[in-house]
Amino acid sequence: MAQTKKLLLLPGDGIGPEIMRETRRLIEWLEKNRPIAFTVEEDLIGGASFDVHGTPLRDEAVAKGAAADAILMGAVGGPKWDSLPFAQRPERGLLKIRKDLDLFANLRPALCFAALADASSLKRELVEGLDIMIVRELTGGLYFGEPRGIETLPDGQRRGLNTQPYTTEEVRRVARVAFDLARARKGKLHSADKSNVLESHVVWREEVTWLRDHEYKDVELQHILADNCAMQLIRNPQQFDVLLADNLYGDILSDQAAMLTGSLGMLPSSSLGAADENGKRPALYEPVHGSAPDIAGKNVANPLAMILSFTMALKYSLGLPEEGALIEKAVQNVLAKGLRTGDIMQQGSTRVTTASMGDAIINELDGLSR
């Protein structure tokens, strides 16, 4: 009997609908070739939602996401909506779904496929085989702390204010995600902070240490200052396996690590909430790259980050790790054959369209399944 999994698709703006279309083809392939069934709903987010509903994300869409086993999102934003008030801009839709579903743990793998090692700005020997998992706290810290705002002082100067708070539970719950991943991988966790200058990061470091001492004695923990971590990612990235950071530094370090692999167009991510009594977590999967409005609708976008985000969903939310690994193998084989979209084009490779890349992956899956 087929397993039934419930998905919510949020294609979004720009190239989002194009890359989601190729991912949907893989969902259909799995239904046809594996004892799996998907119940798939689709809704609007970002500018696409604002154009129809006057808001970047409706509460109804959030409710659909809460009921799903996983949410797949394309991208949000574009110059069309830049003049909107801050609260109505497309990006607020993404922040809303993260906050409303309490998606506190952002997983950003920085994985370098062998065929793309020369696309990195670093030497091949530094990045070939690179496999780092960055865990970023996503719903607290500087991006959400209160008080915040812009005020005019009595002397006429303007002052911008943001606050970075972290509580014991906020730190421990995201650290547990990182420790669990480290335990399942190489048993090694780096935690990046600025505890030398920030009181909130003194709390961060002490709570991460408490958790290791009380629940994860089998995992090696190394604390590292965030600025040194940025340097070490360039100097010797292979020393890292799982890397934990707060909202601000996780944002910066994950983008830095992403470029070690050669292209943002290749990198997936997931955002996870707390598990319920049945072990089900709210979860959102999305590519790291943006909406790329300059190439939207031209059939040239790279769908691989969206497809690899789907493989993360298969592993972490849908209980289908073998199917996730199969699609990853298909992606690896396609790249090894030299097929490239424009963003990862290299000398001697063959340029393909968005749809053609999808065709190639489907063909590989057919071959791997014979």
Active site residue ranges: 143, 194, 227, 251, 255
User: Which pair of structure tokens corresponds to residue 98?
Assistant: 């993260």
Handedness of CA 142, 235, 224, 108 (dihedral sign): positive
User: Which pair of structure tokens corresponds to residue 56?
Assistant: 């970047």
Handedness of CA 5, 109, 297, 89 (dihedral sign): positive
Sole residue written with tokens 């996983």: 70
Quote the CA–CA distance of 258 and 262 in Å, as a whole number.
7
User: Which pair of structure tokens corresponds to residue 223?
Assistant: 């604390």
